[in-house]
Amino acid sequence: MYKKGAVNQNILYFCRKFTVSLNLINKLMKIFTNKSFYTSVIGVLIFSFMVSCVNNKNTMKEEAAINIANLDTTVKAGDDFYKYANGGWLKAHPIPGDQSAFGSFEALAEENYKQLLSIMEGAAADKDAKAGSIKQKIGDFFTSGMDTLKIEKAGINAIKAELDKIDAIKTPQDLLKSIAEFHTAGVNPLFNFGSGQDDKNSNNVIAQLYQGGLALPDRDYYTSEDARSKEIRGEYVKHITKMFELMGMNTTTAAQNADNILKLETKLAEASSTRKELRDPVSNYNKTDLAGLKKMSAFDWDNYFATLGLKNLKEINVGQPKFFGEMAKIFSSTPVDQWKTYLKWHVLKDAASCLSSNFDKEHFAFYGTVLSGVKEMKPRWKRVLNNTSSNLGEAVGQLYVEKYFPPEAKKRMIELIGNLKLALKERIEKLSWMGEATKKQALEKLEKINVKVGYPDKWIDYSSLTITKDSYFENIMAASRFYFKRDIEKIGKPVDRTEWGMTPQTVNAYYNPNMNEIVFPAAILQEPFFFLKADDAVNYGAIGVVIGHEMTHGFDDQGCQYDKEGNLRNWWTKEDAANFEAKTKVIADHYNAHKELDSLHVDGKLTLGENIADMGGITVAYAALQKALQGKDTTAKIDGFTIDQRFFLSYAQVWRQNIRDKELMRRLKEDVHSPHDARVNALLFNVPQFYKAFNIQPTDKLYIPEKDRAVIW
């Protein structure tokens, strides 16, 4: 999972509401893959992804853990292990027209749509569902989204009330009030506001301000001069123009407005920190009081907070002071009328996929096709299902785990985590590059890591959220307001350590440095990540590495800056910190050298934390496997593969994925995770046991001389 700046706005053809807490979530978490960020962008604290269940063999195909047909043995393991391990599968699984990539995560999602559909259709058809029950809410939310007759008939009128509010703005004070009101409803013009743990006092929740206000996924799209960025900017202006035309604006005005919006957002982009800058927790921690904030940023904060109903704010973290300084200047120097069109654009963009099909299609044409190369929209039921699952995340989660999560999966997982923890402990004890004082602190931090598996002990209470069959858009607004209120009510209070940052139906896992905890939702506990019945080698190679990955986030280049209590505090001696940095540099260099699409490179610095976690994950999982195998016969082969071979093959198959070029280009720019082939090829060639398992020779293409290999944990 990832942290500050990991915003990954991918599939934008869901109703994207309430991005409010998104950045604040990114601030807090490191995810295993960016996969569920697609939906997390939509879902505040509650993200979701569609999944089925571990042992539900009714729909899951029974398959050998390592299926020989998934390999391509015509490729030499030492030349391209990713292809060797996955070539057969990649050939057999072309990307469906409605997706930008297709791999293990997506394949699992396809299976799991069926389970969630049965939950939602079941809820919608249940005439006995009590008014106000989660079943009624899930059923009605889903029904409202599927009611295309009503949605087509309403057209732009679905958001007329919001547009009228913008039209009524006369003064800068009105404008500011309106911006604050949109923030409470999950539309996030200008910047982001929400709550989050205090980085240096992790028991407390404080107010958090974070840069934002852009409708393209990253500030670099506005500022980069490369051909692809220019092309996207051109298409973006055309897209805004078309959306305004659909709203009834004449072409000339629409085009002029679109131009102005690009200019305005470019100013905000220029004031924004880059993704790499956002990865530094120290420079993004600037706690102050209201007077301090006003000094940093000449904005009418009294008016803003009063509109949110917040009184006596004592502590505020200003994530990016430079941005907030500039934002205030841009706010006061831009005419109110230009802001009004900017606001209309942001409302329209966020609402587009819940509006009539003309808006929905045009939105997809840009955010799906231009940005990610996706050819067709997902069928409506899948999109509405995604939206229901993210807006009513833990409500859906409750029904999901009741029906599909087997208790024995949790038991096996806790056992695995225990073994991984022990293996990492022994490795830290033996580290030659780290002194005793730092080791003591590292071991204490490891010991204190909290573990959550499956689903929360305490569910979110949705009783104050009203959902009806009447309006899809209103349901989404209601859910956004519900989450925003819940979020800011935490300010000034002690943190609730029972909360989860992902829903049970999410195929993912995360480490949260402020909580010093690792979390594994129910949905990732299934094949090809977790095999309830298979041998240890495949389980340690897959879910074992996921566990090791999340644990290592506590000790990656960012995680290592937080102590066992989740506070941003340096607990390293100078010498150990220097040794660590030198070791991370070797990793960054390896990934920098990894090429994609002939001429593009992985960004070794942007992806450093994730690559360190992958490297720790594979090393620790391998060590834990050796423990699990003690006293067992380790000579027998299964399907012709040794135990070590199965371990590495199992790891590689987690990452099998076909991806569209445009999507890959987008992720290289935005994603803190390396592309999947690099997660295999740039990684494994640092692992000595891998060389032995597949008899890799110096003449092989990916061979790395021993002295140049990276190892940290």
Kindly list the residues in this chain that would bind Zn ion in the complex (CB under 5 A).
30, 32, 610, 613
Judged by beta carbon, residue 392 or residue 613, the one nearer Zn ion is: 613
The β-bridge partners of 596 are: 600
Least distance (Å) between residue 36 CB and Zn ion: 12
Report, in Å, the least distance between residue 654 CB and Zn ion. Answer: 13
- Secondary structure tally for the chain: helices H, strands E: 31, 12
- The nearest distance, CB 586 to Zn ion, in angstroms, is 19
8 A C-beta contact, residue 199 and residue 30:
no
CB of 610 to Zn ion, least distance (A): 5
**Residue among 326 and 671 whose Cβ is closer to Zn ion:** 671
| Structure token digits, residue 132 | 């106000």
Residue 445 CA from chain centroid, whole number: 25
Place of tokens 């990016």: 320
- Smallest distance from Zn ion to CB 584, Å: 15
Could you tell me the two tokens for 447?
């010991």
Q: Residue 661: what residue type?
A: D
Smallest gap from Cβ 605 to Zn ion, in A, equals: 16
Shortest distance in whole angstroms from residue 336 CB to Zn ion: 43
**Bond into 705 cis (ω within 30):** no
* CB closer to Zn ion, 32 vs 221: 32
Residue 213 contacts residue 256 (beta carbons within 8 Å): no
Q: CB nearer to Zn ion: give 10 or 115.
A: 10
Phi, psi of 325 (to 5 degrees): -65, -50
Nearer to Zn ion, 30 or 340 (CB): 30
Instruction: Report the 3 state secondary structure along 515-553.
Output: CCEEEEEHHHCCCCCCCCCCCHHHHHHHHHHHHHHHHHH
How is residue 665 annotated by DSSP? Answer: H
Smallest Cα–Cα separation from 308: which of 212, 195, 183? 183
Q: CB of 613: closest distance to Zn ion in angstroms?
A: 5
Write out the two tokens for 163. 């547009």
Q: Which of 11, 12, 34 is nearest to 655 (CA)?
A: 34
Identity of the residue, 199 or 610, whose beta carbon is nearer to Zn ion in the bound complex: 610
Smallest gap from Cβ 614 to Zn ion, in A, equals: 8
> What is the C-alpha to C-alpha distance for residues 653 and 686, in angstroms, rounded to an integer?
18
Is the Cβ of residue 101 or residue 134 nearer to Zn ion in the bound state?
Answer: 101
Our CB check for Zn ion shows the closer of 423 and 613 to be: 613
Least distance from C-beta 556 to Zn ion, angstroms?
8
Residue closer to Zn ion (CB basis): 32 or 82: 32
- CA 281 to CA 289: how far, in whole Å? 19
Q: How far is the CB of 549 from Zn ion (least distance, A)?
A: 6
Contacts of 212 (CB under 8 A, 6+ apart): 19, 23, 188, 190, 191, 192
- Give the bridge partners for 568, in sequence order: 562
| Shortest reach from residue 24's CB to Zn ion, in Å | 18
For residue 64, count other CB atoms closer than 10 A to its CB: 12
Helix, strand, coil tally for the chain in percent (to 5): 55, 10, 40
Of 108 and 396, CB closest to Zn ion: 108
Amino acid at 639: D
Identify which of 406, 458, 481, 558 has the alpha carbon closest to the alpha carbon of residue 52: 406
Considering the complex, state which of residue 331 and residue 500 has its C-beta at the smaller distance from Zn ion: 500
User: Looking at beta carbons only, is 115 or 552 nearer to Zn ion?
Assistant: 552
C-beta separation of 353 from 15 below 8 A: yes
Crossing angle of the two packed helices 134-146 and 472-488, in degrees rounded to 10 = 140
